[in-house]
């Protein structure tokens, strides 16, 4: 069988000397799977995503990414593993001095690709997320929903193997949320694994997908 894209084995996490936020979390994301991560505010969804992104290390237990044990991933390997993931952060993290187009193209630029080889691709994705007219705008003048769509486009442009999205439809109206969901589903159909953290029940109800529910530091799985 193919290796899971992500596997947690009895993972526990505390911040500093604080209380344990996640207890004995075990789950796997299989290649090509589509799953939601949900649970009450403060339950630890962002924390769990940060463990997958290797921006946090578990206090105990094992995290494996693409078959590699997280504790052994460092330096260039860390960069290489992160490039296999596309991330939509809750706070977008766009670079304010770059245009929307340049922000979205960034993952391709760091691969040292020629602009001529990706320009049309970036413009097409911008048009798809409804930002065709905003390509040359700087993030500070974008609305919350526009920033969110730019962040989604940036996460998708390099066709990562795994997409992690933290409340990716939190700032858009329901019609646009459905459209963005279709984009995630389409990428999933092409083989990308997708994990979407959300509170949005209406969004989850549109897809027959596994729900990973965090509460009281435990993870429950609903197929």
Ligand X SMILES: Nc1ncnc2c1ncn2[C@@H]1O[C@H](COP(=O)(O)OP(=O)(O)OP(=O)(O)O)[C@@H](O)[C@H]1O
Which residues make up the interface to ligand X (CB under 6 A)? 15, 18, 21, 39, 41-47
Give the separation between CA 80 and CA 91, rounded to whole angstroms.
24
Comparing CB distances to ligand X, the nearer of 11 and 108 is 11
The DSSP call for residue 1 is -
Query: From the CB of 194, what's the least distance to ligand X, in Å?
Result: 18
Comparing CB distances to ligand X, the nearer of 41 and 117 is 41
With H, G, I as helix, E, B as strand and everything else as coil, classify residue 155: helix
Q: Where are the beta strands (DSSP E) in the chain?
A: 6-14, 20-29, 34-38, 60-65, 68-69, 85-88, 162-166, 193-197, 210-215, 218-222
Residues 6+ apart with CB under 8 A from 135: 99, 100, 101, 123, 126
Comparing CB distances to ligand X, the nearer of 42 and 174 is 42
Comparing CB distances to ligand X, the nearer of 43 and 165 is 43
Exposed / middle / buried, residue 168 (Cβ in 10 Å: 0-12, 13-18, 19+): buried
Comparing CB distances to ligand X, the nearer of 21 and 204 is 21
Query: From the CB of 155, what's the least distance to ligand X, in Å?
Result: 17
Query: From the CB of 201, what's the least distance to ligand X, in Å?
Result: 14
Query: From the CB of 149, what's the least distance to ligand X, in Å?
Result: 20
Query: From the CB of 15, what's the least distance to ligand X, in Å?
Result: 3
Q: What are the backbone angles phi and psi of residue 88, rounded to the nearest 5°?
A: -110, 110
Comparing CB distances to ligand X, the nearer of 4 and 44 is 44
Instruction: Please state the three-class secondary structure of 168-195 as a single string.
Output: CCCCCCHHHHHHHHHHHHHHHHCCCEEE
Query: From the CB of 122, what's the least distance to ligand X, in Å?
Result: 29
């Amino acid at each position: 069988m193919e290796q899971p894209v992500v596997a947690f084995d009895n993972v526990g996490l505390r911040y500093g000397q604080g209380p344990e936020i996640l207890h004995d979390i075990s789950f796997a994301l299989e290649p090509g799977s589509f799953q939601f991560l949900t649970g009450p505010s403060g339950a630890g969804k962002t924390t769990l995503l940060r463990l997958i992104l290797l921006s946090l290390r578990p206090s105990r237990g094992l995290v494996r990414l693409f078959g590699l044990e997280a504790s052994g991933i460092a330096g260039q390997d860390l960069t290489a593993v992160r490039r296999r993931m596309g991330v939509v952060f809750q706070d977008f993290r766009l670079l304010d001095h770059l245009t929307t187009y340049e922000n979205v193209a960034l993952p391709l630029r760091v691969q040292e690709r020629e602009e001529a080889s990706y320009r049309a691709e970036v413009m097409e994705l911008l048009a798809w997320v409804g930002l065709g007219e905003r390509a040359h705008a700087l993030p500070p003048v974008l609305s919350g929903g526009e920033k969110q769509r730019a962040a989604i486009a940036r996460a998708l442009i390099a066709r990562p193997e795994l997409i992690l999205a933290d409340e990716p439809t939190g700032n858009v109206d329901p019609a646009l949320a459905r459209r963005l969901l279709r984009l995630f589903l389409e990428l999933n159909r092409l083989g990308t694994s997708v994990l979407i953290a959300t509170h949005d029940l209406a969004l989850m109800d549109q897809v027959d997908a596994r729900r990973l529910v965090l509460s009281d530091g435990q993870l429950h799985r609903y197929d």
